[in-house]
Chains A and B, each alone.
Chain A
Amino acid sequence: MERLSPFILTLVTFIPAAGGLLILFIPRRDRDIKLWALVISTFAFVASLHLPVHLHRETGAFKFEIDKIWITSPNIHYHMGIDGISVWLVVLTTFLTPLCVLISWTSIHERVKEFFILLLILESALIGVFTSLDLFLFYFFWEATLIPMALLIGMYGHGRKVYAAVKYFLFTMIGSMFMLASIIWLYSKTGSFDFVVIQNAIRRGSVPGFEAASLWLFLGFFIAFAVKVPLFPLHTWLPDAHVEAPTAGSVLLAGVLLKMGTYGLLRFDVGLFPEQAHRNAPWIMVLAIIGIIYGALVALVQPNMKKVIAYSSVSHLGFVVLGIFSFTAAGLSGAVFVMLAHGVATGGLFMLTGIIYERRHTYEITEFGGLATPMPKYATFFLVVVLASVGLPLMNGFIGEFLVLSGAFQARPIYGILGATGVIWSAGYLLWMYQRVFYGKVTHEVNNTLPDLNLREKAALWPIAVAALVMGVAPLVWLNAIDPAVQFAVIPSITQLVSKVVSQ
């Protein structure tokens, strides 16, 4: 297995895209295409399991590194590597994609081939975002996620899909242009796109003009990531995109795409500009808390199930940002854990709403009621995932939020207290939604005859439910990879920062 190590990242990253290319050439028989997509994405998942298994957890340094020259002028390298933070995000992506294939089995009727090709290309791009250590390569994958996702929304969504797709595209595109400007500035001063090289140059203080520019560089990266997270005033694209997207699109959007933003904040914004991150932490944390509370309040009053979940993402991702900018070990590890837990739970919620949409073609809460009677198995899965999402102890949502809040509390008690209200709110809107949809008498006649989950749907939901539970019961499996990585990646910059402040 050791011989595989230098190539495993390349393999995992490009298996889905290569599979997409393969599908391009097989005839348009929908069943074959779906099967191929399932096989390819499952294979990618299995291959990606190599990564956490062989990750040495003692140190947090990058593993499975590969560094080849791609373009000599400018000096762009094909540099990939992962640590305990990104490894789980890669696995999350490969874990969710086969489930997306399963959940789209019958809901996609036309242009099936294009759908699965786009889905697989999207998967590759997402994995690439988490594995690249060259800023240029990172930017390339970052932009590469944009087009398949926008097409998925625009071609297969419903309602105002075009509006949603264009809004999504423009928000992200404009945000990332600022990041590009920052990246090019860094390149023009250091002559390298390599994350590690740039980070070392900044730590040594050998980048000319860095002091004056660092705030703008920080903000350039920050805007791109904040749009993606999405952080409070920049979140407006998210509800539109989520509501109009097809189920698989929503699952990947909430499950993985939003994590690109928080991952970017953690790896690049905090990793490269710890001083600026520290200096700007107060207002960012305030925005995060506004996001937590505002997202929750708006979710509370939504009449549409998908919108409830979309706004719950705004709220949950607020926790991640809060954790990152608390600059405590607990907060940072918790933030990473919330990313994973949210990916699993919210991915599950979107799959569940997708299942009911296939049967009734509506997301309106008032259209349902008493669903537990005709669909008991569906109701059970829904309850498990809702409980995971609200952060019931022993479920995965709890661990991360607990760590984040304890970190926020260390940073400043008021942040912890305000953030904690978010947990209460989330219990409120999700359980209230659950009550209105599943309990009581069946209010609409049509709902009486709805079929319960079939085998395929159960196959898609079981992994989610199991993952939610296992992550809640044995979080250490995840945390003992995350902790050293956080220690290694972020804490040195902070301690350096503190010593700098002290020495002054």
Chain B
Amino acid sequence: MTSLAHSLPAMLAQTQAALPQAADYMRVLPELVLSIFGMLIMVVDPLLDPESSHQSLGTIALLGAFAALASTFWMAQYPGTAFWNMVRVEGFSVFFHVLVIAIAAVAVLSSFEYLKVQRIRAGEYYALILFGTVGMCLMSSAIELVLIFIALEISSISTYVLAGFRRRDAASSESSLKYFLLGSFATAFFLYGVALMFGATGSTNIDTISRALNSGGAPMPLLAYVATALMFVGLGFKVASFPFHVWTPDVYEGAPAPVVGLMSTGPKAAAFAVLLRVMFEANAPGRFWVIWVSAVLTMTLGNLGALVQNNVKRLLAYSSIAHAGYILVAFAALPDLGTSAVMFYTAAYAAMNVGAFAVVSHFANAGEKYLTLEDYAGLGRKSPVLAATFTFFLMSLIGIPITGGFFAKFYVLSAALKSDLNILAIILVLNSGVGAYYYLRIIVMMYMREPRAEVPVTPMPAATTIAITVCVLLTLYLGVLPGPVLDYATNSARALVGDASASITAAQSGATQP
């Protein structure tokens, strides 16, 4: 009895500590807001006329995204960990929150027209986009491998379903099923990696793992190596890196175009965020050569594959593989340089790729009929503005100056060169040369071939126009004034992984001053 009396206050104190604090909720506010809006859509959907619900449900989804964006800035006022070291709000996670939610907002905008033209029911669609975004947001702020896994699943399952939304089309169902089967397999690998990491370090918390690995105190180093490799398999699938990239073209080809715009950027950015945490923050052992080889093969195979594509969606799928390869180059660089380069790249890539897919989904028309390169012939004559914006996005994907794509590549290259990865840098350079060719094929088609009469160009509705304009402006902004975004990325990267290159920079500035 006495023992109980003694332990009662302690238990009470424990319960109190076990209850989340108010600030904890603030630190997951965007996720909460998105979930609420997602559920709201599910509730409202049955009440609306299915024929005309696109507009209103889309608007709710858009409002949800805006509210989440606003709450992200609110969340940023409460840096720190929440829910017993499961989630951490810091510059890094705020960056990815903003990015992922912005991607979702633009994807929603470009879906307005798409759902109407393709006659797809809007309710689940928008709800799933929001729920998927919840997962992606959590992936970037979770610092607990188990939570990361759950977040990964939330985002993945939403995208599996979204990929199959054109139910009447066999390609879409194939896309969904393929993505689902392979994706589940890959996440299982990730989970296995988490388990082994727990075995190696005794924890699933990134901070603890990092401490254990840094102090060289991992009792079973081999286990840590295997764990790193397995986690790389799981995340490599999500970012479509070699040899786990095979699903990409088929899935992208079948999935609805706005969804491809979303899933080639959003979940990818989130997966890169996790990869950054696992590789750099946790300081995973033996990562260098795995990433080096994977980066080289990813960009090379992606570019070579894209060369022979005749379907624009497949072409952009291979191009996204190649871009994943470029991003992986940064993972081989010094932690802080690499992290900031990856952050900038995912942002620039999101702006240009979502924009490109918005153009594709507008142009594809009902039933996604017009997707081959030949369909784009003479677009420069038929619709100069659409062709010019698409050209701008393609220029950015090539990496021509004054576009975000240029600075993205620029920072990756300079991170690689500062880390003395000269060979990797040269391979990247050669690859972007190859890459220029297939983007150019589209531009050539649009401007230098005669138009085909039977391909109609429908006038662009307001929502699509806004979506594309936002993407153009962001791509241009990142290409003309990359400073603010990069500074933010650099600062949060330093906060995350420490200033590894500080000594080098100091030595350099000493060297350049007379």
Q: Which residues of A contact B508 (CB under 8 A)?
A: 189-191, 208
Per-residue interface assignment for chain B, residues 471 to 482, with 1 indicating a CB less than 8 Å from any chain A CB and 0 otherwise: 000000000011
Q: Which residues of A contact B330 (CB under 8 A)?
A: none
A73 and B481 CA atoms in complex are apart in Å by: 9
A191 and B509 CA atoms in complex are apart in Å by: 7
- Is A154 a contact of B444 with CB atoms below 8 Å? yes
Q: Which residues of B contact A189 (CB under 8 A)?
A: 508
Q: A140-B401, A154-B447, A162-B448 are in contact. Are A187 and B414 (CB under 8 A)?
A: yes
Q: 12 pairs across A/B with beta carbons < 8 Å? A: A71-B481, A73-B483, A146-B400, A162-B444, A165-B444, A174-B430, A181-B426, A181-B429, A191-B509, A201-B512, A208-B507, A213-B422
- Is A166 a contact of B433 with CB atoms below 8 Å? no
A140 and B402 CA atoms in complex are apart in Å by: 8
Interface residues of A in 154-187 (CB under 8 A from B): 154-155, 161-162, 165-166, 169-170, 173-174, 177-178, 180-181, 184-185, 187
Interface residues of B in 420-460 (CB under 8 A from A): 422, 425-426, 429-430, 432-433, 436-437, 440-441, 444, 447-449
A151 and B443 CA atoms in complex are apart in Å by: 9
Q: A71-B481, A191-B509 are in contact. Are A143 and B400 (CB under 8 A)?
A: yes
Q: A74-B414, A165-B444, A187-B414 are in contact. Are A177 and B512 (CB under 8 A)?
A: no
- Is A185 a contact of B417 with CB atoms below 8 Å? yes
Interface residues of A in 111-156 (CB under 8 A from B): 111, 139-140, 143-144, 146-147, 151, 154-155
Does A449 make an interface contact (CB < 8 A)?
A: no
Q: Which residues of B contact A406 (CB under 8 A)?
A: none
Does A207 make an interface contact (CB < 8 A)?
A: yes
- Is A154 a contact of B401 with CB atoms below 8 Å? no
- Is A207 a contact of B511 with CB atoms below 8 Å? yes
- Is B429 a contact of A180 with CB atoms below 8 Å? yes
- Is B487 a contact of A73 with CB atoms below 8 Å? yes
Does B486 make an interface contact (CB < 8 A)?
A: yes
A253 and B291 CA atoms in complex are apart in Å by: 43
Per-residue interface assignment for chain B, residues 368 to 412, with 1 indicating a CB less than 8 Å from any chain A CB and 0 otherwise: 000000000000010000000000000100101110000000100
A177 and B418 CA atoms in complex are apart in Å by: 17
- Is B486 a contact of A73 with CB atoms below 8 Å? yes
Q: In the complex, what's the smallest C-beta–C-beta distance from A223 to chain B, in angstroms?
A: 11
- Is B437 a contact of A166 with CB atoms below 8 Å? yes
Considering only CB atoms, which chain A residue lies closest to B402 in the complex?
Answer: A140
- Is B448 a contact of A184 with CB atoms below 8 Å? no
- Is A151 a contact of B511 with CB atoms below 8 Å? no
Interface of B is mostly: helix
- Is A165 a contact of B448 with CB atoms below 8 Å? yes
- Is A169 a contact of B511 with CB atoms below 8 Å? no
- Is B437 a contact of A139 with CB atoms below 8 Å? no
A300 and B269 CA atoms in complex are apart in Å by: 58
Considering only CB atoms, which chain A residue lies closest to B419 in the complex?
Answer: A188
Q: A162-B444, A162-B448 are in contact. Are A181 and B512 (CB under 8 A)?
A: no
Q: A147-B400, A187-B414, A190-B512 are in contact. Are A174 and B448 (CB under 8 A)?
A: no
- Is B417 a contact of A177 with CB atoms below 8 Å? no
Interface residues of A in 38-87 (CB under 8 A from B): 71-74
Q: A155-B447, A177-B429, A184-B413 are in contact. Are A71 and B440 (CB under 8 A)?
A: no
A121 and B315 CA atoms in complex are apart in Å by: 30
Q: In the complex, what's the smallest C-beta–C-beta distance from A183 to chain B, in angstroms?
A: 10
Interface size class of chain A, counting residues whose CB lies under 8 Å from the partner chain: 35 or more
Q: A71-B482, A177-B430 are in contact. Are A147 and B448 (CB under 8 A)?
A: no
Our count of residue pairs bridging A and B at CB distance below 8 angstroms stands at 95
Considering only CB atoms, which chain B residue lies closest to A198 in the complex?
Answer: B512
Per-residue interface assignment for chain B, residues 499 to 514, with 1 indicating a CB less than 8 Å from any chain A CB and 0 otherwise: 0000000011101101
- Is A177 a contact of B432 with CB atoms below 8 Å? yes
- Is B448 a contact of A71 with CB atoms below 8 Å? no
Considering only CB atoms, which chain B residue lies closest to A175 in the complex?
Answer: B433
Q: Which residues of A contact B436 (CB under 8 A)?
A: 169-170, 173-174
A73, A155, A166: the one within 8 Å of B440 (CB): A166
- Is B426 a contact of A161 with CB atoms below 8 Å? no
- Is A73 a contact of B490 with CB atoms below 8 Å? yes
Q: Which residues of B contact A29 (CB under 8 A)?
A: none
Q: A73-B487, A177-B429 are in contact. Are A184 and B437 (CB under 8 A)?
A: no
A147, A154, A188: the one within 8 Å of B414 (CB): A188
Per-residue interface assignment for chain A, residues 353 to 395, with 1 indicating a CB less than 8 Å from any chain B CB and 0 otherwise: 0000000000000000000000000000000000000000000
B425, B447, B483: the one within 8 Å of A72 (CB): B483
Per-residue interface assignment for chain A, residues 201 to 237, with 1 indicating a CB less than 8 Å from any chain B CB and 0 otherwise: 1001011100001001000000000000000000000
Does A326 make an interface contact (CB < 8 A)?
A: no
Considering only CB atoms, which chain B residue lies closest to A111 in the complex?
Answer: B381
Does A192 make an interface contact (CB < 8 A)?
A: yes
Considering only CB atoms, which chain B residue lies closest to A200 in the complex?
Answer: B514
A144, A170, A207: the one within 8 Å of B437 (CB): A170
A204 and B481 CA atoms in complex are apart in Å by: 32
A190 and B513 CA atoms in complex are apart in Å by: 9
A361 and B414 CA atoms in complex are apart in Å by: 50
- Is B433 a contact of A174 with CB atoms below 8 Å? yes
Q: Which residues of A contact B509 (CB under 8 A)?
A: 191
Q: Which residues of A contact B381 (CB under 8 A)?
A: 111
Q: In the complex, what's the smallest C-beta–C-beta distance from A304 to chain B, in angstroms?
A: 22
Q: Which residues of B contact A73 (CB under 8 A)?
A: 482-483, 486-487, 490
Q: In the complex, what's the smallest C-beta–C-beta distance from B296 to chain A, in angstroms?
A: 16
A146 and B448 CA atoms in complex are apart in Å by: 16
A154, A181, A192, A201: the one within 8 Å of B448 (CB): A154
Which of B395, B418, B447 has most A Cβ within 10 Å? Answer: B447
A159 and B414 CA atoms in complex are apart in Å by: 41
Q: In the complex, what's the smallest C-beta–C-beta distance from A34 to chain B, in angstroms?
A: 20
A154 and B442 CA atoms in complex are apart in Å by: 13
A482 and B425 CA atoms in complex are apart in Å by: 38
A24 and B37 CA atoms in complex are apart in Å by: 44
A499 and B422 CA atoms in complex are apart in Å by: 32
